[in-house]
Amino acid sequence: MVRTFQKMKNFLVIALVFTAFFVHGQEVKGSVVDGKKIGVPGVKIKNEGTGKLARSSEDGSFSIPAKVNNILVFIMPDFDTLVLIVEASDFEKIRLVILQEHYQDVEGANVIRKRMEGFDVGFLPPIKGVQIYTGTNAVIEMADLSGAKSAANPREIFAKVPGLNIWESDGAGIQVGIGGRGLSPNRTANFNTRQNGYDISADALGYPESYYTPPFEALKSIEIIRGSASLQFGSQFGGLLNFIIKDAPNNTPFEFTSRTTGGIYGYLGTFNRVAGSKNRLFYQAYHQYKRGDGYRENSKFYQHQAFAQLGYYLTENIKLRVEYTHMNYLARQAGGLSDLQFNENSRQSLRNRNWFKVDWNMLAVHYDHEISRKSHFNVRAFGMLSSRQTLGFLGKITQQDPGGDREMLSGNFKNAGVEVRFLQRYDFKRPETKKQIHGAFLVGARYYRGTTTADQGRATDGSDANFMYQNPNDLEGSAYTFPSENIAGFAENILFLGKRMTVNFGMRMESISSGSSGYYKRYSIHPVNQDTLAVYTISDDNSVERFVPLFGVGTSFKTSQRSSMYGNFTQNYRAINFTDIRISNPNIVIDTNIRDEYGYTAEFGFRGITKDFWMYDVAAFYVFYGDKIGLAPKAGTTFKERTNVGDAQNTGIEVFTEFDFLKAFVDSSKHSLSLFVNVAYINARYIRSKEPNYIGKRVEYVSKFIMKSGVKYKFENWSFQVQGSYNSAQFSDASNSVLPSGDAVIGLIPSYLVFDFSARYAFTKFVQLEAGVNNFTNQRYFTRRAAAYPGPGILPSDGISAYLTVQFKIAK
């Protein structure tokens, strides 16, 4: 009896200890939704009793350790703070937490995100974080987007953004070149290009070209902001292009994603990512590797990309995160082709000693402070230490590479900056009507300093990737240093006048200092035997300072709950790039009187969504581009001149619509059959020029008609898409030469029509297959005539190619 009692006593003790441990380790699980029962992501959930912190996931779900009678606080901008007391029943069910929106007339980001679900592209809310979005804006959601993500086919990724012209001379997506509304696609230089809100271009002022593009497999979304709101980010004509890296998951301490892609032409791509969060800490890191033999001869490439992010919530309202990005690649350059060579065999290469090498390193620190429900403060500091080098024979493509010494150009980029933003929401009543008016103003400042060095001289005479100068202390071409400094202040204000109308005003004050210091060499050549008769070293020291005020205004009016009209006007400015105009090129001469570019953009549009099956956006725009810099034949010579060609105006209409035929007539979540059409008409012409024969001519690299259209069918875990992309003919110079020049740098770029197919199947949420065939009609075409590297001459685009991707994803 005693033994039995002792066993029962021991059992009860163990049971009580286990129960106490179990209760202590219990979690409250639930979902946070708004008044429309749409999941709200990113809600802060704090256990006041233990100090534990959690965040709701993309669909609003959450879990947080708790005990009975603990107090849970739910905090989210635009919503009223909610306080709950934990009850015993909360451990037995999924708790539904409903937050009430404070600003009922401001459509929240989660509502817009939910309505865009299935379209892959959408509009941004008026206010998000410390940024105000107005005018023509688009967000590309990457989660379910069809297309070749590993090879980063921009034709598919940007298919639903109207008015974009894309250079397709890189079949592996290493460098993406896009331009909008008649602007040059050259390395996306007409956009203010950013990653997670900070600069990624070589030099934002002196050399705003992007040699780095983040892996599309790592992205959550891509934001394109045009109109008056773009003045928050810079003065560029194209606006903002912002790549948003996926967030670390906030409901698991460990998540691992692995993607492997194989394709023809020796393509292999791998992408591996680890991420997670625990209490206040969150982290992620990824690595991407891709290599390939290339579509053409002499076009092998190897690329590595790595990214690491570590973040911590100092309090429930203060978040600090650090990010490091590295990218390097080595590519053999196949060179350009003449028109005759292209027609004979577009895959051939006449250059086997040309190479291109890039090394990119960026560090960024973000500080976010939600001071109150209405006030938000952000600081982002960033720095970059990077380089790019080109090596080979720069002569015209009609010249055979004679062997011997090669020409080498190297650029080293070192810059740093800090940007501070403060956003304040406010309310007031109009005395005459007593109506409540909501608004928000944003003020910010930016300091940026960059130093670029650009050298050109003779290198080795071999055919390998040996990036070494023969005479590094006395270069045969040029040696320059380009310092730049930028101090800018900006402000934006948005007013919600009732439930239908918004008005916003923006301004930016730019103080820009840029300069150049160095030398270049001029050679006197014998006209018969080509011997060097004399060498002249010409020193150059130049500096320019400007103060540029820019203004913008916009408005929108809701014609219904889900549709609105909008209009915008904004000024633009683009400084001359000293690094462009000082490098010696045997095919080009530089106008010594070249000036900055200036202008403005105006637009008017109508957009909306009908339930969940029809989206549309129609816009008309006008771009005035003063003192536009371009390439034109120099009178009396055989050279091309980089100069201010004149004033141009770009007018056009952009139309995007997507319609889901099944959802329009059948209420089904399993099936979807959608058609999207994206059409742009752009009439870009010179209206003034120092060369009278340029007046009325079309602006170079502008297709009058750009159209992309596709059909997508989804059934449960299956997805199929066929897409077509069309560009009408375009010119490569301001004289509108139809007949090609002998070196193929100038001439017509014919129209082209390319088709792509992609498919995806998810076995479970952990395993997924993707496959596709790009350019499945094997169209032979080109989008670019290069004046220098990676040409000169025609750069053929890739023919038919295929790929298969296997994805595995596990989470603890």
Looking at residue 105, its pLDDT comes to 42
**In 10 A of CB 763, how many CB atoms?**
9
637: helix, strand or coil: coil
What CA–CA distance (Å, rounded) separates 171 from 152?
8
Cα dihedral sign, 28-31-34-40: positive
Looking at residue 278, its pLDDT comes to 87
> For residues 30-45, b (16+ Cβ closer than 10 Å) or e, as one string?
bbbbbeeebbbbbbbb
What are the residue ranges in the chain where pLDDT is below 70? 1-25, 102-118, 135, 430-434, 578-587, 633, 638, 667-669
What CA–CA distance (Å, rounded) separates 286 from 608?
37
SS (H, E, C) 533-565: EEEEEEEEEEEEEEEEEEEEEEEEEEEECCEEE
> For residues 176-206, b (16+ Cβ closer than 10 Å) or e, as one string?
bbbbbbbbbbbbbbbbbbbbbbbbbbbbbbb
The tokens for 269 are 């791509």
Non-local CB neighbours of 347 within 8 Å, separated by 6+ positions: 295, 296, 297, 796, 799
Direct distance between the N- and C-terminal alpha carbons of the chain, in angstroms, rounded to an integer? 47
Q: What is the DSSP string of 434-460?
A: --EEEEEEEEEEEEEEEEEEEEEEEB-
Q: Considering just the CA atoms, what is the radius of gyration of the chain in Å?
A: 29
What CA–CA distance (Å, rounded) separates 12 from 6?
10
Q: What is the DSSP string of 198-220?
A: EE-SSBTTTB--------GGGEE
CA distances from 323 to 13, 37, 304, 307, 346 (A): 50, 35, 17, 7, 42
Q: 213-216 — which CB contacts under 8 Å span 24+ positions?
A: 213/152, 213/173, 213/174, 213/175, 213/176, 213/243, 214/243, 214/245, 214/305, 214/307, 214/325, 215/150, 215/152, 215/271, 215/286, 215/288, 215/305, 216/142, 216/149, 216/150, 216/152, 216/157, 216/173
What CA–CA distance (Å, rounded) separates 185 from 701?
8
Q: What is the DSSP string of 138-205?
A: EEEE-TT--S-TTTT-HHHHTTTSTTEEEE---TTSSS-EEEETT---GGGTTSEEEETTEE-SSBTT
Looking at residue 49, its pLDDT comes to 84
What CA–CA distance (Å, rounded) separates 110 from 99?
12
- Amino acid in the structure at residue 304: H
Looking at residue 227, its pLDDT comes to 77
Are the C-beta atoms of 707 and 137 separated by less than 8 Å? no
Look at strands 588-590 and 640-660 and give their pairing.
Answer: parallel
Q: What is the DSSP string of 84-128?
A: EE--GGGGSS-EEEEPPBS-TTS--HHHHHHHHTTTSEE---SEE
What CA–CA distance (Å, rounded) separates 158 from 149?
12
Are the C-beta atoms of 275 and 249 separated by less than 8 Å? yes
13: helix, strand or coil: helix
Residue 237: which region, alpha, beta or left (left: phi > 0; alpha: psi -120 to 50)?
A: alpha
CA distances from 584 to 391, 475, 522 (A): 14, 12, 10
Are the C-beta atoms of 695 and 674 separated by less than 8 Å? no
What CA–CA distance (Å, rounded) separates 366 from 373?
20
DSSP, res 21: H
**In 10 A of CB 529, how many CB atoms?**
6
Are the C-beta atoms of 517 and 192 separated by less than 8 Å? no
Are the C-beta atoms of 361 and 385 separated by less than 8 Å? yes
**In 10 A of CB 367, how many CB atoms?**
15
Looking at residue 623, its pLDDT comes to 96
Are the C-beta atoms of 150 and 805 separated by less than 8 Å? yes
